[in-house]
């Protein structure tokens, strides 16, 4: 009796979404051959998943789907830390500082409780007593997520690839030529940058800021890369007030949405502005920080953390968000190719969800289930 043909699934993009999807497809695909493709490697400097650290938190205002997804992702991060015998998750907490506009945080409270997230509410005076290194001017109250914190992003992407290969996956470091022509009902192959073609039975494109260029007719400007800047400042010698021993990750929902991470495994005190920047080309864009963004970071640091008023700049990074119009993820089949899935729109909050997204997408690809309505492409036509 002839042996059944082994199913082949190709995942394009080895970032947080693609890497985890490939790993779960390999584990749960019934022996399917899974090939992961990336132009520059997991967690590379051009990728949305590159860089040293990413915040993991569950507070999402009214968007319960992400609170529950973050809770699942946290459980999977913990599970894989144990499985791989390496630390990727630093559970130092996330402190949300609430000023006058409190609708986002107020709306999050019942959802956090429903998802059984470990958190507490603090009054402004309580925050000032517990964290005297923070200037709590205008802070009315706060949410402290105890089980949240930060992830080592680049190292995590590399760890996922390492596990994927150890479990029988295949990896090719080449780019995919676009645009992708998927008009024939299904996609049979893609052309790689070395001129070869990669054939498969199913495809998942988790290409971050390049998704729109690969699928200009279906995605196009529905995923817009925006330029974002991150700065790392030096703390005074021997001063532990600004390390993760004494301070959680913080998110300051004031006039600007500023956030930061203490410690960063000794890389410096991270400060970032969540305001969406101008459009950015992730392939050819120069990643030189701007004086204007640095000035915003310095002024904020002097105001909220007076002890770091004159802190020297140690490092800086220009990265990008892959922004969808409504900041919801895109997880859906290609409308004209039933064997092709499009995955992206991380919108600056995707990395933490990587394992939960990968688990979900693997199930959708293997079972043919329909995705959550909030993630479907059809929402853009409404």
pLDDT, tens digit (0-9, with 9 covering 90-100), for 156-189: 999 999 999 999 999 999 999 999 988 778 999 9
Q: How many CB atoms lie within 10 A of CB 240?
A: 13
Interior angle at CA 311, CA 149 and CA 257, nearest 5: 45
Paired tokens of 380: 């853009």
Dist. CA 180–CA 108, nearest whole Å: 40
What CA–CA distances, in Å, run from 149 to 98, 247, 288, 368? Answer: 18, 11, 28, 34
pLDDT value at position 265? 82
CATH placement of domain 1-57+150-223+324-382: 3.50.50.60
pLDDT, tens digit (0-9, with 9 covering 90-100), for 59-108: 999 999 999 999 999 999 999 999 999 999 999 999 999 998 789 999 99
Residue of 291, 371, 274 lying closest to 57 (CA atoms): 274
* Average pLDDT rounded to a whole number, residues 105-121: 98
SS3 367: helix
% of the chain beyond a pLDDT of 90: 94
What CA–CA distances, in Å, run from 51 to 14, 39, 271, 284? Answer: 14, 17, 14, 18
pTM here is 0.96
359: left (phi over 0), alpha (psi -120 to 50) or beta: alpha
pLDDT band for position 266 (cuts 50, 70, 90): confident
For β-strands 249-253 and 94-98, DSSP reports them as: parallel
Residues 6+ apart with CB under 8 A from 79: none
* Average pLDDT rounded to a whole number, residues 230-246: 96
Dist. CA 115–CA 109, nearest whole Å: 10
Interior angle at CA 177, CA 43 and CA 172, nearest 5: 45
Q: How many CB atoms lie within 10 A of CB 248?
A: 23
Dist. CA 329–CA 373, nearest whole Å: 11
pLDDT band for position 382 (cuts 50, 70, 90): low
Are 56 and 149 in contact by the 8 Å Cβ rule? The answer is: yes
Dist. CA 40–CA 35, nearest whole Å: 15
Q: How many CB atoms lie within 10 A of CB 182?
A: 24
Look up tokens 């999402």; give the residue: 60
pLDDT band for position 4 (cuts 50, 70, 90): low
For β-strands 224-233 and 8-12, DSSP reports them as: unpaired
* Average pLDDT rounded to a whole number, residues 51-56: 96
Residues 6+ apart with CB under 8 A from 154: 42, 43, 49, 50, 51, 52
Residues 6+ apart with CB under 8 A from 375: 328, 329, 330, 331, 332
Domains of the chain by residue range: 1-57+150-223+324-382
Total count of residues recorded for the chain? 382
Paired tokens of 92: 């130092």
SS3 136: coil
* Average pLDDT rounded to a whole number, residues 201-214: 98
Strands (E), the chain: 8-12, 33-37, 53-56, 89-90, 94-98, 119-123, 141-145, 149-152, 170-172, 189-191, 197-199, 202-205, 224-233, 249-253, 257-261, 269-273, 313-323, 330-334, 337-344
């Amino acid at each position: 009796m002839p042996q059944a043909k082994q199913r082949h699934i190709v995942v394009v993009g080895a970032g947080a979404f693609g890497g985890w999807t490939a790993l779960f497809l390999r584990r749960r695909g019934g022996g399917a051959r899974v090939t992961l493709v990336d132009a520059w490697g997991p967690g590379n400097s051009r990728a949305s998943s590159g860089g040293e650290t990413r915040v993991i938190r569950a507070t999402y205002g009214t968007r319960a789907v992400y609170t529950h997804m973050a809770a699942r992702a946290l459980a999977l991060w913990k599970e894989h830390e144990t499985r791989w015998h390496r630390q990727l998750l630093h559970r130092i907490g996330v402190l949300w500082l609430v000023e006058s506009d409190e609708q986002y945080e107020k709306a999050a409270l019942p959802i956090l409780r429903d998802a059984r997230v470990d958190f507490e509410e603090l009054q402004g005076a309580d925050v000032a007593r517990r964290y005297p290194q923070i200037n709590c001017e205008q802070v009315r109250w706060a949410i402290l997520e105890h089980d949240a914190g930060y992830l080592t992003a680049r190292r995590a992407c590399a760890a996922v690839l390492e596990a994927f290969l150890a479990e029988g996956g295949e990896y090719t470091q080449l780019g995919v030529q676009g645009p992708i022509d998927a008009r024939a009902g299904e996609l049979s192959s893609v052309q790689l940058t070395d001129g070869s073609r990669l054939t498969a039975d199913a495809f998942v494109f988790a290409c971050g800021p390049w998704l729109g260029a690969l699928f200009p007719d279906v995605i196009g400007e529905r995923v817009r890369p925006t330029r974002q800047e991150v700065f790392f400042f030096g703390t005074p010698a021997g001063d532990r007030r600004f390390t993760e021993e004494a301070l959680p990750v913080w998110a300051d929902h004031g006039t600007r949405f500023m956030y930061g991470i203490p410690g960063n495994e000794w890389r410096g005190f991270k400060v970032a502005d969540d305001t969406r920047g101008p459009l950015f080309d992730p392939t050819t864009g120069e990643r030189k920080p701007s004086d204007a963004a640095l000035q915003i970071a310095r002024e904020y640091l002097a105001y909220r953390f007076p002890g770091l008023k004159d802190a020297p700049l140690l490092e800086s990074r220009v990265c990008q968000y892959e922004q969808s119009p409504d900041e919801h993820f895109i997880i859906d089949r290609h409308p004209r190719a039933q064997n092709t899935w499009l995955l992206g729109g991380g919108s600056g909050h995707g990395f933490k969800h990587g394992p939960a997204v990968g688990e979900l997408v693997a199930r959708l690809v293997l079972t043919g289930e329909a995705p959550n309505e909030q993630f479907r492409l059809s929402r853009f036509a409404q």
